């Protein structure tokens, strides 16, 4: 089995596709973390061995492979940084486990593992990233954590890269955090955390272009996929979501530095018993930006709390005063071929800003029913302009 996995990885690494690395013909140099002193007993600190193996792989000209074999490796926070002298494949077959204690993380460290400034990275192999987040969730809920919880893995400033067939469990905060990447594909992922785990988004994307998430299973305590400001050309397809908070664009307009969102497609996906289905959310704050050209299409929902929602009055904090309307301009949004069941009576809720009404919102071929089937679901609209096409159930309020 291991030999077949290695062969598959090598073929993917050479052939590319969806941004995968493409080194020259010939076998890539391999750097096994055990050869650099990794113990894999789940207790010994293997951080130095991993960093040494990465340094050797990154320095190798013409393409290389860092190998993480079967076993459980214990890592303190590490950065795997480039630029490198060629494409690097990280073949992870084993389990990599994080420190359970937040005191093990420097105050300025926002992630457990980070890949930075790498072109043509391939992370694959079927291995598991274990964030060991249980104790952190307890202190987050009690609001007595010694510091902000870190993400499990961050991909920062990557280009032309692929993350494939990786499992992430029990992250302390976000499982995978994507920042300032260009042409990054994530596919075949399995991301899991309990429904009650706070802030454990499956994948969060910020300030990136050309990010694709495909053919994955995500069940967490927060958004399955969250798409923040500064993104363009994001495509989510074939994702099974639940539990969690669904697929979200936002929250936007929370600070003066937020950037526009343009070109997001979520399609061919399924949600089961999630708090939200497809959602756009913006803060009630005076920061102007735009969110446009958004498509949510071919989506099936089962017992979803808020199937279709635009919330421009988003404020998760207590004592929100609702004095400053959102200045995020939402336009050209299409909800098409969405069907299934709602666990609340309001299945379509388009609550837009008094200052910047939503424009060109389209509802096309929607069929949502109340889960108990004793009452009909309804729509609710405010400060929104748009149109409907085809059969729309519940009756459109546009």
Catalytic residues: 222, 245
CA distance 144 to 142: 6
CA distance 248 to 234: 12
Sorted by sequence, the CB contacts under 8 Å of residue 288 that are 6+ apart come out as 253, 327, 328, 329, 356
CA distance 281 to 287: 14
DSSP 248-279: EEEEESSSTT---EEEEEEEEEEEES-SEEEE
Q: Minimal CA–CA distance to 131: which of 191, 218, 214, 216? A: 191
Q: Which two tokens stand for residue 279?
A: 């959602």
DSSP 316-373: -STT----S---EEEEEEEEEEEEEEESSSEEEEEE--SSS-EEEEEEEEEEEEETTS
- Residue 94 DSSP label: S
Bridge partners (DSSP) listed for residue 64: 29, 88
Sorted by sequence, the CB contacts under 8 Å of residue 88 that are 6+ apart come out as 21, 54, 57, 58, 63, 64, 65, 66, 82, 118, 120, 121, 122
Q: Which two tokens stand for residue 313?
A: 């009055």
CA distance 232 to 229: 9
How many other β-carbons are positioned within 10 Å of the β-carbon of residue 293?
17
Bridge partners (DSSP) listed for residue 155: 115, 178
Q: Minimal CA–CA distance to 360: which of 307, 286, 310, 299? A: 310
Helix (H) or strand (E) holding 116: strand 111-116
Q: Minimal CA–CA distance to 198: which of 221, 181, 175? A: 221
Q: Which residue has the tokens 């454990």?
A: 200
CA distance 150 to 172: 6
């Amino acid at each position: 089995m291991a030999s077949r996995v290695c062969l598959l990885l090598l073929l993917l690494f050479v052939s590319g596709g969806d941004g995968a690395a493409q080194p020259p013909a010939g076998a890539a140099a391999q750097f096994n973390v055990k050869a650099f002193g990794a113990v894999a007993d789940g207790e010994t600190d293997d951080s130095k061995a991993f960093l040494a193996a990465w340094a050797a792989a990154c320095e190798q000209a013409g393409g290389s492979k860092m190998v993480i074999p079967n076993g459980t490796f214990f890592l303190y926070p590490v950065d795997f940084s480039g630029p490198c002298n060629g494409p690097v494949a990280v073949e992870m077959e084993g389990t990599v486990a994080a420190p359970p204690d937040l005191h093990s993380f420097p105050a300025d460290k926002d992630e457990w593992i980070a890949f930075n400034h790498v072109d043509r990275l391939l992370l694959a192999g079927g291995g598991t990233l274990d964030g060991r987040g249980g104790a952190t969730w307890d202190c987050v809920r009690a609001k007595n954590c010694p510091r902000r919880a870190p993400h499990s893995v961050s991909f920062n400033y990557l280009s032309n890269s692929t993350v494939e067939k990786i499992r992430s469990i029990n992250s302390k905060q976000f499982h995978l955090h994507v920042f300032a990447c260009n042409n990054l594909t994530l596919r075949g992922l399995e991301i899991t955390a309990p429904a009650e785990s706070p802030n454990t988004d499956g994948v969060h994307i910020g300030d990136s272009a050309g990010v694709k998430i495909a053919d994955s299973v995500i069940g967490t305590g927060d958004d399955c996929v969250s798409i923040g400001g500064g993104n363009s050309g994001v495509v989510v397809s074939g994702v099974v979501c639940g539990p969690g908070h669904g697929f979200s664009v936002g929250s936007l307009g929370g600070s003066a530095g937020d950037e526009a969102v343009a070109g997001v497609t979520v399609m061919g996906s399924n949600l089961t018993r999630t708090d939200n289905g497809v959602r756009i959310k913006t803060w009630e704050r005076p920061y102007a930006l735009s969110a446009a050209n958004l498509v949510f299409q071919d989506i099936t929902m089962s017992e979803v709390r808020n199937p279709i929602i635009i919330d421009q009055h988003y404020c998760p904090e207590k004592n929100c005063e609702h004095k400053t309307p959102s200045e995020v301009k939402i336009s050209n949004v299409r909800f098409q071929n969405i069907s299934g069941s709602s666990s609340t009576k309001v299945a379509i809720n388009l609550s837009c800003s008094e200052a910047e009404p939503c424009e060109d919102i389209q509802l096309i071929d929607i069929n949502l029913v109340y889960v108990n089937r004793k009452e009909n679901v309804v729509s609710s609209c405010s400060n929104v302009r748009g149109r409907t096409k085809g059969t729309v159930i519940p009756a459109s309020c546009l």
